[in-house]
Amino acid sequence: MSKMNIAVVQSAYKKSDVAYNVNKMKRQIEQCLANEKETELILFPELCTTGYFLDDELQTIASSCDGFHFQQLAEVAKQHSIVIAYGYVEKGADHTIYNSVQVIDEEGQSIINYRKIHLTPDEQHFFSTGSDIIVKSIKKGTIGVMTCWDLAFPELARALANQGADLLLVPSAWEKPHDKPYEIFSQARAIDQTVFLATCNHVGASQELAFFGKAAIYGPDGQVIVKSSEEKEAILTAQLDFSERGTLKNTFFSMEADFREDLFKRW
């Protein structure tokens, strides 16, 4: 199994200013690569291209999956041969919009467009729900995507792991005062599926919401590899050794092999 160098971005973004936010993301990629030139994948927060907010303006700023954000970031991905994952407001059919995550590969191609499956009660007033569980192999491993509140649902993590995901990417916009559930859910989804998990969050305020950061990368034993301890912008990096998953599953973490499939439905 391969090793992969990844980064997660903890940051603040301007409400509705897609051009500003995408340019900021491009600068953050440059900063990350200047400090850690071996970085192969970089993860940005939920709805980072628009800022996270919930009002009727979401309809105005929604765009197709191949819109301005994609065109700009695809060029960067291709230029630096890096995988980029980020959140945006996707325009669907008949005035529907989705809380979506796009993953662009090293050649500048869109390989994942994930529409958030589990919306919060407030989000349900604005977004339509997704229904596709998506796993994709890239050069160094296999990734699955979840978004923020999806972390609270172990069934989704299990489905992604059962489809071969080595690493779960979880862009988030998780607000105060719920930092403990964010950390516990993240750690639990890593350990209960014996997968690596990378999650990142906003910082600062948006409308009535205040974000606490605490971006982190967890190992398949649930242990913290790296975590932000401050409510300020940061880029965290780590090298993941996917062979660790096999070692752990063959020793103590034998849940997959011990699962009573005769009693419980497999996802």
**What residues are annotated to the active site?**
46, 116, 148
Helix axes 154-162, 179-193, angle to 10 degrees: 30
According to DSSP, the β-strands at 142-145 and 167-171 are: parallel
Tell me the residue ranges of DSSP E strands in 15-134.
41-43, 83-91, 97-104, 110-115
Looking at the DSSP bridge assignments, the partners of residue 113 are 102
Q: Answer whether 163's CB lies under 8 Å from 157's CB.
A: no
Buried b or exposed e, range 26-50, using 16+ CB within 10 angstroms: eebbeebbeebeebbbbbbbbbbbb
Distance between CA atoms of residues 112 and 134, nearest Å: 7
3-state secondary structure of 256: helix
Distance between CA atoms of residues 4 and 167, nearest Å: 10
Closest CA to 212 of 252, 255, 172, 185: 172
